[in-house]
Each structure stands twice: as C-alpha cells, then as structure tokens.
Amino acid sequence: MQEHFLETVRGWVREAGHIAVLTGAGVSAESGVPTFRDAQTGYWAQFRAEDMATEAGFRAHPEQVWDWYQHRRQLMDGVQPNAGHQALAQFQAAHPGRLTLITQNVDGLHQRAGSTGVLCLHGDLFANRWLDTPRNCCHIDDAVAGRPPTCERCGNQLRPGVVWFGEMLPLAVFEAAERAAQACDLMLVVGTAGAVYPAAGLAHQARSASARVVVLNPNPSELDGTADAVLRGTSAALLPQLLAA
C-alpha cells in the first residue's frame, strides 16, 4: 500500500510546476537534534518548556532562559544535516525555482545542507536581538558579556532570535510562505505535528488553493485529515525516494 502511494506521490512531484515544503522538528530528528521538549533532560527537566519560550518567562528569569538557549545551542555541536535535508537541497539545486522551503525549525540544518531561500518562520537559534527597542547606545557587538549579555548604558538585554509563544512571526517571511502555499501545485508537510499555528495553516491554504497536500510523518499528525496522501515513514528515508531525479 505504502509503495503504491510512494509511486503516486513521486508522480505528483514530477508533474508539479511548483512545490512548497513545510518542515518541522521531525526533519532534524535523524540528525540527533532533540526537540524542544526532548532537550529538557537532567537539570532542565524541572522547568516547563512553555516558561522557556515566552517573553514573560524571559523577563521573569532572564538568566535561566538565556542558559537554556545556550544549552540548546551547545546540543547542536557536531550535529550534521541528514539525508532528508540533503534531498531537499539537491532538488533545489537540480530544479532552480521549483521548490520553496518553509521551516519551523531554528537549527539552521536546511541552510547547512545547501538549501537556499529558506523561509524560517520561527527565527534562528544562533541569532540574538535586543529584548527592548534598541536605543543609540545598544550595539550588539558591544554588549557586556553576561547571562544574558547586556547594554552597559541602558541595561537592555540580548535575547535569542527565535519566535516565542504568543509572538508574531516575522511578517515578510510569513507573507512569502503564504504566497508559496497559495501558488504551489504540491505541498509536502514533513516532520511536523501540525499543531502550531499559523504555520500549520499554510497546509490548509495550499489545499484551499487546489494544491495537493502530502504528509510525511512516521506518526499521526494533526494535518493528516487535510492531506491527499499520508506517507508513514521518516523524512531521511522518504524524501530521497520522493525527490530523486
């Protein structure tokens, strides 16, 4: 049955003038990147994930939240893109302009695999920005080392450049993702539980615009009911099979 679906979806890939791909944490699972919740082991197990990913949590406990993101940055040491990331990058290189990659991941592995124009809906784990609107005195390179680094003049603090719960997505990035979802012939929804909006809504937008939607996930996802086909398997196994020339 799965083989049959795989062949059908391979046909849809060949036919599609434009493909949009929406990825989530599952794409990085086979690289060994712990998901948000899985990273909370040992010392970090005592904290609620939600308290580490809101502005209110950062303002209440800046040192603790800063250390948590430093911990997640360190967990990326030695991690490499896997066959799923590589298949997407190779398809983009072989078919310029045909595949738009939209990701909820902040780990940078798509870019390291060579993907271009990646629309990062939830920011970048390795970037920092000011918590409050920067003043003339706030220069990121001069921020005084600390946990978090701070402007020595006004006390403004650096925070990780990721989108926290309750925050707006970067508008230009999200608008570009919406355009891709609405213009594509095929959307692949890969390695995401499909539970976090507005990202998950892109699959509904693609469907409403008459694109085919295919979910790739070893487990049930909240977008299975929206999909024309669901392929049960891991992204590192399925993407190379689907996107091979």
Nearer to ligand APR, 82 or 150 (CB): 82
Q: Taking the chain, what is the end-to-end CA distance rounded to the nearest angstrom?
A: 23
- Residues 45-74 contacting ligand APR, CB under 6 A: none
Other Cβ atoms less than 10 A from the Cβ of 235: the count is 28
User: Please, what is the minimum distance in Å from the beta carbon of residue 24 to ligand APR?
Assistant: 3
Nearer to ligand APR, 52 or 138 (CB): 52
For residue 35, state whether it binds ligand APR (rule: CB under 6 A). Answer: yes
Q: Which residues of 19-32 are buried (b: 16+ CB within 10 A; e: fewer)?
A: bbbbbbbbbbbbbe
- Residues 105-164 contacting ligand APR, CB under 6 A: 122
Which residue numbers are catalytic? 122
Q: Is the dihedral of CA 89, 184, 15, 190 positive or negative?
A: positive
The correct pick among 34, 161, 170, 218 for binding ligand APR (CB under 6 A) is: 218
Paired residues of 162 in beta bridges:
123
Q: Which range binds ligand APR by CB under 6 A, 11-19, 30-38, 58-66, 166-174?
A: 30-38
Strand locations in the chain, DSSP E? 19-23, 99-103, 119-120, 123-130, 158-162, 186-190, 212-216, 229-231
Residues that bind ligand APR (CB under 6 A): 24-26, 29-30, 35-36, 104, 122, 191-193, 195-196, 217-219, 221, 234-235
